[in-house]
Structure 1
């Protein structure tokens, strides 16, 4: 996977890709309609790709260069360009400048446009699983900054995500590590409430919640939080920002990763029991002070 790009460079790459495909079609003496027929695409889609209104997938570009009989070297260059263009990067600094809560609204829209949302959570429960108290503790930075003013707005939007869990037309699949479940991000009372809340949510028909216990034999590193929307988009969280992946091969790879960790996790009643047991452990600690 190519490294992330800053927004201005991303736009340049996409514009270059659109212009190159347009010029190749013209050089081949084909109309947009004839090229569309060769690629089994609509003429409208070809037009949107060539004008930069639609970002073509790597598969789209493969079909176009094959239909145009583009020489191998030029085809490889265009495919590399498509792979780069299909990786979107947003820094947290950029998100903070426009208001971090706007990003929370974008996530809600992505959830609402997807039938299946898969979330791999190695360090912290997803916002859609959080109680308001836990969300406040998680979103409040230990280092004061501009984003602090957005915390309450972000919590309000996150709580609004939960309406999606009640939609019988959607499925939410979560894989959390034990560390994500028990990491002390808040006072004991809040941790207990968060664990019980997740246990309650796991009983919903739309929720499939699994937990990878620390004693599980997992010979892979759970490096990043990632979310898969249907089979069309993956978002990956980094310390510095977020990356959006649209290349079908990147999506397929993350689906395999999700299945790998899911196969080593507690599920169903065992996962729910694990969450309630962890809540009981915190209750004993609160009671005894140990």
Structure 2
């Protein structure tokens, strides 16, 4: 199934209807299907009416029970994964107001205990100076002052000792010249300072290593239940366990190629020295 963002909103209802039709074709009542799948009848009813989005495991169990043909298994499995995926386009965020997006992110951060950020291109707002935040929003339409304030307010979560953060940046993200050299030096000093907090682990994937894999996009992992991936035109939100696990594996792979602790701070210090050398 080809990914089409506009289909994501319909995938849940399509999935519910497809499963209902398959049950009927198999000549099973909701109660009989429930017993054969070791589910409650009320759960089957909620799945078929779209009130509950079934997990991929639930969908596969139902497909086996109704003896669905291989082609339909592939199609409906793809629907199930799409039903656990949400598309949030950038233009809609602009229309609603980017400050509302900050409130949504703050809620995700408040609920999670372990947060992991893969940053191949730029420094995330949680780690950014006000100057860096403002520069990163320079392409956005309208007044962004509330958004800047929201990003700065969100940074308080870094000091919540009950949470753990892992920030994995490429050296490209560290080196990207979003600001004039003196201000970039301040930004990199902030990274080094935050890396000393006991609940923050900050790693940098350096240029000097051979990395046989490309860092395609920014993504964030919230515990083991949700992953978000950024694109130029929007954000994908994944809740299917297979998708989340794949992002966790990608994060672990890049972690093996990163430097941490004093080695990461030495890299940042060298960058700062380079920025200030010719001033």
TM-score after normalising by structure 1? 0.86
**Other-structure match for 2:142:** 148
Distance change (3 Å), C-alpha of 1:119 and 1:132? same
Matched residues, number: 278
Picking from 238, 243, 259, the partner of 1:245 is: 238
Which ranges in structure 2 are unaligned for 5 or more consecutive residues?
A: none
Distance change (3 Å), C-alpha of 1:13 and 1:213? same
The answer to whether the 8 Å contact 1:140/1:148 transfers is: no
User: What CA deviation, in whole Å up to 9, does each residue of 1:131-160 have, x standing for no partner?
Assistant: 11211111111xxx6x332x2111111112
User: What CA deviation, in whole Å up to 9, does each residue of 1:67-92 have, x standing for no partner?
Assistant: 44434443333112212333322221
User: What CA deviation, in whole Å up to 9, does each residue of 1:181-239 have, x standing for no partner?
Assistant: 12110122321221111111111122111001111110111111111222222211111
User: What CA deviation, in whole Å up to 9, does each residue of 1:83-117 have, x standing for no partner?
Assistant: 23333222211211111221222112112222211
Picking from 229, 232, 235, the partner of 1:236 is: 229
The answer to whether the 8 Å contact 1:4/1:87 transfers is: no
SS at match of 2:273: helix
Structure 2: how far apart are the matches of 1:164 and 1:38? 46
Distance change (3 Å), C-alpha of 1:39 and 1:103? farther
Picking from 265, 269, 273, the partner of 1:276 is: 269
Distance change (3 Å), C-alpha of 1:153 and 1:35? farther
Which ranges in structure 1 are unaligned for 5 or more consecutive residues?
A: none
Q: CA deviation at 1:266?
A: 0.7
Q: CA deviation at 1:130?
A: 0.8
Distance change (3 Å), C-alpha of 1:238 and 1:13? same
SS at match of 1:148: coil
Picking from 230, 236, 247, the partner of 1:254 is: 247
**Other-structure match for 2:180:** 187
**Other-structure match for 2:18:** 20
Distance change (3 Å), C-alpha of 1:37 and 1:139? farther
Matched, 1:3 2:3: yes
**Other-structure match for 1:109:** 107
Picking from 225, 250, 267, the partner of 2:260 is: 267
Distance change (3 Å), C-alpha of 1:44 and 1:200? farther
TM-score after normalising by structure 2? 0.89
**Other-structure match for 1:203:** 196
Structure 2: how far apart are the matches of 1:114 and 1:39? 32
Q: CA deviation at 1:47?
A: 4.3
The answer to whether the 8 Å contact 2:30/2:45 transfers is: no
